[in-house]
Structure 1
Amino acid sequence: MFNKIFRYTKRSLARSAENSLESAYQAALTIKNIEIEHFQNKKITLQNGNHSERVFAYFQGELNSKLKAIDLKLTQFKTSQYFNNLFASNKQNYPYETNKNITLSQSLIIEKLNFIDQIVNKYQQESEINPKTVPNLAKETKNPIIDVPAGEDKKIKETVSDKTSVLPRSFLRTLTKIKDEINPDSTDTEEELINRFRRSKYKTAVSVKFLLFLIIIPILVHNISKIAIGRAFVDPYFASHQDIVFINQDLQEEALNELRIFEENIQLKAMIGLMPNLSSQEKETIIQEKAQELAQDYRRQSANGIKNIFSDIFAFISFAIILVSSRQELQVLKSFLDELIYGLSDSAKAFLIILFTDIFVGFHSPHGWEIVLESVARHLGLAENRDFNFLFIATFPVILDTVLKYWIFRYLNRISPSAVATYKNMNES
């Protein structure tokens, strides 16, 4: 019994050390990717990147957050390794370990530690040379600018603690909060809270504004281009080609159906005495007037379908241009949405997942998808293709459900396992 506990403790310590080192390694990789993508594969400084002060402050905040995460994870790694070595002093208790596995593990550890030291030493040299300038720089870059959001560091801690810590996350957060509150340098702590609030406020404003741009600008481009294209090309073309009324068979069938109903309605009213009996010529004249009215109506629908095709293309292009030219805003928006979604309670996450799945991939979702496809076809002036609709309904919800399950398994299960458990309980009840 004692040997089993001994082995389990040893394996837990080894796993904790491995996860801590992996987290530090991933944080170092993030810093390296920022250097490659935004600072010409050089050190993250204002001189090495062609960015404004606000954008640089965002990257500076990301750098500071990752360096703190590396320091925290390396401390956990050293602690776990220390106790792991104490347990490993008695090799007879671990006959399942081979020298080959140990050699491979040590070589991988050395490789990751060398990479982490290469990244960290690059930014520690400046602080060792002139430590007084670092706090001032931090204050300058953190005050009015976007930094790592308040929930970002918390999210990192929760993700890592899900993997490595034996203690509950709330207990660790409470200890961290107590340590911050009894910190003798309370002025810096209060200033940091104020800075976090300012950064969160600025990040929220940027995200909401960017979302409004993503919605309003494509709509404006769609409407303006539709009017311009209609007046310049489509309307004159249909005016000069009066023989073009229906651009697809579905519109013609709808017009014939309406005309038949109108004719039967006249006959019914005449039979029940709601209108006088009409001669064949009078009846034909009324039906002909209705046919002309339907022709104008469906000619307008056909023209609108062609206008919508081109205006949708222009709207999509404008949407893509906004995304391509606003990469920094996209990063801020992603951070804001991550904090908003992952900051929800476990029951709220489970409720939203169930609501989303029931609407888009649930039992009654095929009827909704059929209506959506019919509306899209009518909007573009296309004939409805039942085979395509059935194929889409049979495949797309399945793909969507697979992606959702992968997200739950790959990310949510790691970040918030209690939310996954709540989702399973609510879904099974």
Structure 2
Amino acid sequence: MKNSLAKIPALLRQRFKQNLRSFNHWFLDTPERALLEAQQAAQRIKNVEIEHFGNKKISPESGNYTENVMSYWQVYLDKNLTIIKIKLAEFQLSRRIINISNPILLEKLKVIDEIIEKYAIKDKVISNSALLSTPQPLKINASEINKQSDSYDINDIRPTPPSEDTGVFPSSIGKTVNKIRANLTPQAEEEFMRNYRISQNRTKIALRFLIILIIVPILTHNLSKPFIVNPILERIRGDNKIQIFLNSDMEKEALHELHIFEQGLRFEYLLNQAPPLSSEVIQEKIKDKAREMADEFYLKSSSAISNVFADLISLLSFSIIIALSKREIMILKSFMDTIVYGLSDSAKAFLIILFTDIFVGFHSPDGWEVLLEGIAEHLGLPGNRNVIFFFIATFPVILNTIFKYWIFRYLSRLSPSALATLKEMDE
């Protein structure tokens, strides 16, 4: 027992020496560690410039992005610039105590210099000879990175005066304090209500304009067809009912229906569910049915012709609305952007997969066939199977190529995380 108690001070001394050596080693590596972290932050900024801004400065002028996407990149830039500023301040403080002379640090400083000069967070270039000679304080003139407005405009970054010292704490703390202070001002509630009313009015305008874009063409078609197109068409065609069928498909449909009617009469007679009919009576019934079908297909042909002109009038009304509503179009675009960018990455990926599978997926040919046959019937055109199959064999392929190019070219820049989620869901 006494031997065990006697060993405790020796173990404590050994543990203390180990901790002291570890701390000493950590302290001596502080300059290199701080500079490495600053170099990594600068490299991250450089990678974003190469991948998303064409190797140019991260700014609205360098990339075609919306305000929400640009604010995302601005916050990412501010975060890494803050890391560079703090780590260079740590590097400066540690070099006052520790003398280092390592040529490898020069390569790291080159990457850092490129970024801090580009974004104006330094007014004086680091001297390379200072690392190889006697240790001198590293003077860095940092900018107020995070003291920007809520618009996240990168052009608001300004270099601080040379006499201003770099703080140890990130300036985001000051930004948070300023935001809290602004929320406590007497004008904060008035500003909030004003922004709320603007947003509410924009939403109302966008929804009203969207309803107009849908309702007006439909009403124009349904009103112009019976009151304008049909009277003009009936006056032109007159009582001439020689051209009953508009195309061969209508004629085949009428003959098929008449043949079924004739076979139905014979079937009823064979089942003894109807009294025996003479051939003259059967011919008279078939003749009456033919007259009835002739009137029916004559009206159907007239309706198909009038649909063409009614659709043109609806398209004209839609074009007039678009031409006279530039302000509403901009508001609607902003409203749709807010909805789309407000979705989560999983929701974006889900909608993209749903949309692409419907139009270019494995089962889409059947849907395209039904859609094209319906359009042909609406316009009174013959449903040519060769034309429909050729369209299905080419257009979805072109559409699929456009989707893939859009995903590769734009989605990777607008929402990289949504692109990653989309790839995972596809796999």
Q: Structure 1 residues 74, 353: closer, same or farther in 2, change over 3 A?
A: closer
Q: Report the Cα offset of residue 350 of structure 1.
A: 2.2
8 Å contact kept, 1:21–1:74: no
Question: Paired residues, what number?
Answer: 335
Within-5 A mapping of 1:131-150 = none
Partner of 1:296: 295
Partner of 1:247: 246
Partner of 2:403: 404
Partner of 1:218: 217
1:11 counterpart = 2:65: no
Q: Report the Cα offset of residue 74 of structure 1.
A: 9.8
1:356-376: per-residue Cα shift (whole Å, max 9, x none)? 222222111110110000000
8 Å contact kept, 1:251–1:298: yes
> 2 CA distance for matches of 1:380 and 1:427?
39
8 Å contact kept, 1:218–1:315: yes
Q: Report the Cα offset of residue 96 of structure 1.
A: 11
1:331-358: per-residue Cα shift (whole Å, max 9, x none)? 0000000101111122222222222222
8 Å contact kept, 2:221–2:313: yes
8 Å contact kept, 1:24–1:70: no
Within-5 A mapping of 1:15-414 = 15=47, 21-26=57-62, 180-183=179-182, 186-414=185-413
Q: Report the Cα offset of residue 390 of structure 1.
A: 1.1
Q: Report the Cα offset of residue 423 of structure 1.
A: 2.6
Q: Structure 1 residues 181, 82: closer, same or farther in 2, change over 3 A?
A: closer
Stretch moving more, 239-248 or 186-195: 186-195
> 2 CA distance for matches of 1:266 and 1:343?
64
Q: Structure 1 residues 372, 84: closer, same or farther in 2, change over 3 A?
A: farther
> 1 CA distance for matches of 2:181 and 2:49?
29
Work out which structure has the larger RCO, using CA pairs closer than 8 Å and 6 or more positions apart in sequence: 1
> 1 CA distance for matches of 2:72 and 2:415?
19
> 1 CA distance for matches of 2:405 and 2:106?
36
> 1 CA distance for matches of 2:255 and 2:70?
71
Computing the radius of gyration over CA atoms, which structure comes out larger, 1 or 2? Answer: 2
Q: Structure 1 residues 66, 266: closer, same or farther in 2, change over 3 A?
A: closer
8 Å contact kept, 1:16–1:80: no
> 1 CA distance for matches of 2:194 and 2:173?
21
Q: Structure 1 residues 250, 278: closer, same or farther in 2, change over 3 A?
A: same
Partner of 1:141: none
1:134-178: per-residue Cα shift (whole Å, max 9, x none)? xxxxxxxxxxxxxxxx9xx69x99xxxxxxxxxxxxxx9999777
8 Å contact kept, 2:301–2:380: yes
Stretch moving more, 371-380 or 360-369: 360-369
**Runs of 5+ unmatched residues, structure 2:** 1-31, 92-101, 121-149, 155-170
> What is the RMSD computed on CA atoms of the aligned residues?
4.6
1:266-323: per-residue Cα shift (whole Å, max 9, x none)? 1111111111121111000000000001101110110011100111011111111111
Amino acid at match of 2:43: R
Q: Structure 1 residues 179, 97: closer, same or farther in 2, change over 3 A?
A: closer
Stretch moving more, 374-383 or 175-184: 175-184
> 2 CA distance for matches of 1:395 and 1:321?
32
Partner of 2:5: none
Partner of 1:419: 418
What is the DSSP-based 3-state SS (H/G/I as helix, E as strand, rest coil) of the residue aligned with 2:186? helix
Q: Structure 1 residues 355, 13: closer, same or farther in 2, change over 3 A?
A: closer
> 2 CA distance for matches of 1:106 and 1:8?
13
> 2 CA distance for matches of 1:5 and 1:205?
49
TM-score normalised by the chain length of structure 1: 0.64
Q: Report the Cα offset of residue 265 of structure 1.
A: 0.6
Q: Structure 1 residues 272, 7: closer, same or farther in 2, change over 3 A?
A: same
> 2 CA distance for matches of 1:416 and 1:319?
33
> 2 CA distance for matches of 1:420 and 1:359?
19
Stretch moving more, 268-277 or 354-363: 354-363
8 Å contact kept, 1:350–1:420: yes
Q: Report the Cα offset of residue 324 of structure 1.
A: 1.2
Q: Report the Cα offset of residue 203 of structure 1.
A: 1.0
8 Å contact kept, 1:347–1:419: yes
1:89-148: per-residue Cα shift (whole Å, max 9, x none)? x986677999xxx99x999999xxxxxxxxxxxxxxxxxxxxxxxxxxxxxxxxxxxxxx
1:58-109: per-residue Cα shift (whole Å, max 9, x none)? xxxx9xx99999998997898799799999xx986677999xxx99x99999
Structure having the higher helix fraction is 1
8 Å contact kept, 2:42–2:80: no
> 1 CA distance for matches of 2:304 and 2:259?
25
1:224-249: per-residue Cα shift (whole Å, max 9, x none)? 22123444321233342110100100
